[in-house]
Amino acid sequence: MSEKENKAIHPENPEKLKDIKLGKVYKTAAGFEAVASTAKHILEEMNVSRGFIALQKLNQVDGYDCPGCAWPDPDDHRSSIAEYCENGAKAVAEEATTKILDPAFFKKYSIAEMSDWDDYKIGKSGRIAQPMYLPKNGTHYQPLAWDEAFKILATHLNGLETPDEAIFYTSGRTSNEAAFLYQLFARAFGTNNLPDCSNMCHESSGVALGEQLGIGKGSVKLEDLYEAEVIFILGQNPGTNHPRMLSALEKAHKNGACIIAVNPLPETGLSAFADPQSVSGMLGIGTTISNIHLPVKINGDMALFQAINKLLILEEEKEPGKILDKKFIAEDTHGFGEYKNHLMQQDLDLLAGTCGIPLSKIKEVVETIKYSNKIITCWAMGLTQHKNSVDTIKELVNTLLLKGSIGKPGAGTCPVRGHSNVQGDRTMGIYEKPWDWLLENLERNFGFIPPKEYGHDVVDSIEAMHRGECKIFMGMGGNFLSATPDTQYTAKALQQCDLTVHVSTKLNRSHLVTGKEALIFPVLGRSDEDLQNGEKQFVTCENSMGVIQRSQGVLKPISEELLSEPELICKMAIAVLKENEKIPWRKYMGNYDAIRDAIEVTIPGFEDYNKRVRNYGGFYLPNSAREGYFPTETNKANFSITHISPFHIKENELLMITIRSHDQYNTTIYGLNDRYRGIKNERRVILMNREDMDAHNLKHLEQVDLFNFSDGRERVARNFLVIEYDIPKQCVATYFPETNVLVPIKSVAEKSNTPTSKSVIIEVRKHSK
Ligand SMILES: Nc1nc2c(c(=O)[nH]1)N[C@H]1C(S)=C(S)[C@@H](COP(=O)(O)OP(=O)(O)OC[C@H]3O[C@@H](n4cnc5c(=O)[nH]c(N)nc54)[C@H](O)[C@@H]3O)O[C@H]1N2
Ligand SMILES: Nc1nc2c(c(=O)[nH]1)N[C@H]1C(S)=C(S)[C@@H](COP(=O)(O)OP(=O)(O)OC[C@H]3O[C@@H](n4cnc5c(=O)[nH]c(N)nc54)[C@H](O)[C@@H]3O)O[C@H]1N2
Ligand SMILES: [Mo]
């Protein structure tokens, strides 16, 4: 049965497409065009002097942390010219824009009218400049004073039957200070309903690494990449999503590392890179990066690594003592015997067939890496968003354990995080399944008994709202509607709420698909100067490698009405919970050192926080796997037995990945081009293999509709253009968020509950009106 299509979320089912332009797929990433694109995006949003100030302080130790990705900055030396990339500059341009959404804007455009715009137009409209309120049955947002806004919030929250009827979502840009206060507020209010974007992102990595190594974070430092002999990059498109990683890979490659990219797509940055900061790079003369590209089938990674691991064990039998790290296995791991027995029963031809890489090629890879002892494995969303993601990640880690490649320089795990502080938010306790120690410390330090029952993660929150069990949704940043799966279903869930509240910088679709009443709380962004009592404040973030650094915005805020996130949370807490001497909200918002002191006594690893974070480059958090010990249940690193379960795709079905184009940041659309993939001026495309096009009787640039029929419900995304592309058979790729309507809410990864946005079963049919 088809659920009634909701117009507000389907303006992208357009009858008219844009005028698509196709070019060559790029071989080399970055270079001069990256510089030109940086300048264009900055100048479209602000004047030259604001743009100059913004870029000059980006990722500098006395500046602010890039609001783009979580890739680390060098510990020692920062380039004084540019310690950022093209896409970091786009993130800044988007945030630092001087276009303002004032009350006149909201008076002019109704919710219904704005809903007709595409995400690109919504995002480009400007920064939200004052608190806004949508009353019951209202057609337009109206401005209101902060005090009024807090009163509405407090009345709703305090009117709930239980605190568990509220949901407090967090996106990953929130600073450590704001995240700590936010979880404190939610728990003091009485709920662990603290879902976050991590639930849709690296949750599978956290679960896998936690069970296997005793720590949910990666183990390597940036310097380790320069020492590594082999670097695997799986399910990641760094040329677009972590461009500064390419400089590190270039250096690693020059130092002799063999770089192996595992990806269904031949992503541009993975083959060659032209450093825009060097002369040859500006001329487009690129350095080779990866030595080997393995075009796996979607979700073929577990089978590939089972094959690699089995072959490594067989090589050890041929050359005892030369291939595996027997000492490490004996002293530091658990379960090798059983693991080996299990692998020996696996059929190599079947594994090769499942991953789509010929056995001869896998053998070549094993030949190349078999004597290497310093291996780093990097991965991102191509691995975490499948049904069996947790086990797939465990199988990669098994390789590191066989080789003793963890807990020493040049080796280890490197889950490459997305949002710039997503890792820090979790460290601060943004987690629906709080650790016992956190609850104990909160009780001791803040004099209340925090709720013990686990809260809802993202998918559970949607289901609970859909059932009508949760009635208030608050988003600390992010774009919940567009980032989550099954858009129609999620829209209904949000629309059932009594109140939806978004703490935001920019307008997005979640502001248009609301509860019965809605509030928008506008806040300072990362690049904005934050003054409290006339004193400049800074916040701190944790990057993908566990470094805590300060971040201080430099730009004059576009409106005097904006609050910082810490100030906003304190004011919400005072309105909702009333004054409380054990939680001195006023002191916290007056001076962020006081928040850091509270973090220091609550979260391990933050000793001398205020002092150490003022040191050049900040400080590393302790990391047991990096230090070579594994606080798991067995007190050892655990080998894990994994089972492949090949997808059974019917002849008329295809397996779809939903990925990012070069011109977007998650649900924020910077532009309509995907330069490296040679696609311009259109996002409604489906990348398809020639043979599949023939089998489905589809021509290049043919208009099609995409369907998913899981759980007896029809989901449709209309009007896409077929593009012939180098992608394995039966695999197709589209951009997120346009195709999130097709991702079934019930299709989640085992153990991590992450939506399976990288294995969506679809049918492709010729477009019908
Ligand atoms: N400019 C920019 N930067 C960003 C973001 C952004 O949107 N724009 N988003 C940020 C966030 S939150 C995140 S999480 C990261 C995301 O960074 P990525 O994980 O690089 O993002 P995706 O575009 O989802 O790319 C997934 C990659 O995995 C591949 N892939 C898909 N399925 C499989 C599979 O089954 N196996 C293998 N081996 N590969 C597969 C795809 O071809 C693609 O190259 O980037 C962060 N940085
Ligand atoms: N199909 C599919 N779905 C996916 C993914 C996928 O690969 N495929 N990836 C998933 C992943 S990895 C992630 S992380 C999620 C992302 O999910 P979210 O984090 O929820 O989404 P974003 O698009 O990053 O959020 C953008 C919004 O954040 C607000 N914002 C930006 N900066 C700030 C700030 O400094 N403060 C505040 N308060 N607000 C700010 C702006 O209003 C902006 O519109 O999406 C997930 N969804
Ligand atoms: Mo992410």
Instruction: Give the CATH number, domain containing residue 716.
Output: 2.40.40.20
HEC profile of 306-340: HHHHHHHHHHHHHCCCCCCCHHHHHHHEECHHHHH
**Are residues 154 and 209 located together in one domain of the fold?**
no
Most confident range, picked from 6-10, 460-464, 642-646: 460-464
Structural domain includes residue 314: yes
Protein residues near ligand 3, an ion, with CB under 5 A: 201, 418
- Classify residue 680: in a domain, yes or no: yes
Q: How many domains does the chain have?
A: 3
Q: Looking at 560, 592, 614, which one is the last position of a domain?
A: 614
**Left if phi > 0, otherwise alpha if psi is -120 to 50, otherwise beta: which for 426?**
alpha
Pocket probe mutation, ligand 2, options 94, 125, 171, 529, max atoms within 8 Å of Cβ: 171
Residue 667 alpha carbon to ligand 2 centre in Å:
6
> Among residues 589, 614, 639, which one ends one of the domains?
614
Distance 614 CA to ligand 2 centre (A): 29
Q: Which of 233, 244, 657 to mutate to test the pocket of ligand 1 (most atoms within 8 A of CB)?
A: 657
pLDDT (0 to 100) of residue 278: 64
Residues 672-729: tens digit of each pLDDT: 999 999 999 999 999 999 999 999 999 999 999 999 999 999 999 999 999 999 999 9
Query: How far, in Å, from the CA of 500 to the mean position of ligand 2?
Result: 17
| Co-location of 257 and 363 in the same domain | yes
Tell me: do 395 and 427 sit in the same domain. Answer: no
Backbone phi, psi, residue 728, to 5°: -55, 160
CA of 98 to the centre of ligand 3 (A): 27
Instruction: Pick left, alpha or beta for residue 482 (phi over 0 → left; psi -120 to 50 → alpha; otherwise beta).
Output: alpha
* d(C-alpha 267, C-alpha 262), whole Å: 10
Is the domain of 288 the same as that of 398?
yes
Q: What is the mean pLDDT of residues 606-618?
A: 95
CATH assignment of the domain containing 162: 3.40.50.740
pLDDT higher than 60, residue 90: yes
Mean pLDDT of 39-54: 79
Q: Specify if 32 maps to a domain.
A: no
CA of 172 to the centre of ligand 3 (A): 8
329 and 410, same domain (yes or no): yes
The bound ligand whose nearest atom lies closest to the alpha carbon of 245 is 1
Query: Which of 85, 647, 660, 735 to mutate to test ligand 1, by most ligand atoms within 8 A of the CB atom?
Result: 660
Pick 605 or 243 by higher pLDDT. Answer: 605
Claim to verify: residue 407 and residue 461 sit in the same structural domain:
no
pLDDT band at 620 (very low <50, low <70, confident <90, very high): very high
> Is 304 domain-assigned?
yes
CA of 305 to the centre of ligand 1 (A): 20
The band of 2, judged by pLDDT with boundaries at 50, 70 and 90, is very low
Evaluate if residue 3 carries a pLDDT over 50. no
pLDDT band at 93 (very low <50, low <70, confident <90, very high): confident
On whether both 577 and 506 belong to a single domain, the answer is: yes
The residue range of the domain holding 124 is 37-200+422-614
Determine the pLDDT at residue 70. Answer: 83
For residue 286, name the pLDDT band (cuts at 50, 70, 90): low
What CATH number is attached to the domain comprising 273? 3.40.228.10
Nearest CA to ligand 2 atom 28: 478
- Please check whether residues 336 and 398 belong to one and the same domain: yes
pLDDT at 580: 82
Query: What pLDDT score does 579 carry?
Result: 80
**Once rounded to an integer, what is the mean pLDDT over residues 742-765?**
98
- Report which ligand 1 atom has the smallest distance to the Cα of 262: 38
Q: What percent of the chain lies above the pLDDT cut of 70?
A: 94
Q: Which residues of 689-720 are buried (b: 16+ CB within 10 A; e: fewer)?
A: beebbeebebeeebbbbbbbebeebebbbbbb
Question: Using one digit for the tens of pLDDT, what is the confidence trace for 563-610?
Answer: 999 999 999 999 999 888 899 999 999 999 999 999 999 999 999 999
Same-domain pairing of 484 and 594:
yes
| Distance between Cα 196 and ligand 2 center (Å) | 10
Q: Work out the average pLDDT over 629-652.
A: 93
As a whole number of angstroms, the distance between CA 340 and CA 306 comes to 11
Asked if residue 495 and residue 368 are part of one domain, the reply reads no
Own/partner pairs for 47-52, CB < 8 Å, 24+ apart? 47/98, 50/96, 50/98, 50/555, 51/93, 51/96
- Tell me if residue 122 falls in helix, strand or coil: helix
Q: Does residue 383 contact residue 349 with C-beta atoms inside 8 Å?
A: no
Residues with CB under 6 A from ligand 2: 171-173, 197, 200-201, 381, 418-419, 476-480, 483, 503-506, 508, 523, 525-526, 565, 658, 666-668, 736, 740, 743, 757
Q: Is residue 28 part of a domain?
A: no
- Mean pLDDT value across residues 741-765: 98
Domain C-terminal end among 384, 415, 446: 415
Co-location of 455 and 585 in the same domain: yes
Q: Does residue 194 sit in the same domain as residue 210? A: no
* Substitution candidate for ligand 1 out of 94, 95, 263 with most atoms within 8 A of CB: 263
Does the pLDDT value for residue 284 go beyond 80? no
- Model's pTM, two decimal places? 0.96
Protein residue closest via CA to atom 10 of ligand 1: 418
Percent of the chain residues past pLDDT 90, beyond the cut: 81
Q: Tell whether the model's pLDDT for residue 398 goes beyond 60.
A: yes
81 pLDDT above the threshold of 60: no
Query: Are 676 and 26 spatial neighbours (Cβ–Cβ below 8 Å)?
Result: yes
Atom of ligand 2 nearest to the CA of 521: 38
More confident residue, 295 or 288: 295
Q: Is the distance from CB of 50 to CB of 92 less than 8 angstroms?
A: no
- 666: alpha, beta or left, given left = phi > 0 and alpha = psi -120 to 50? left
Q: Would you say residue 110 has pLDDT above 90?
A: yes
Is residue 631, in this structure, part of any structural domain at all?
A: no
- pLDDT class of 139 with cuts at 50, 70, 90: very high
* pLDDT tens, residue by residue, 719-737: 999 999 999 999 999 999 9
Q: Please name which ligand lies nearest the alpha carbon of 760.
A: 2
Ligand 1: lining residues by beta carbon, under 6 Å: 68-69, 87, 201, 234-237, 240-242, 262-265, 267, 296, 298-299, 301, 380-382, 418-419, 657, 659-660, 664-666, 758
In a domain, residue 626? The reply is no
User: Within a domain: residue 22?
Assistant: no
Give me the pLDDT at residue 478, please: 97
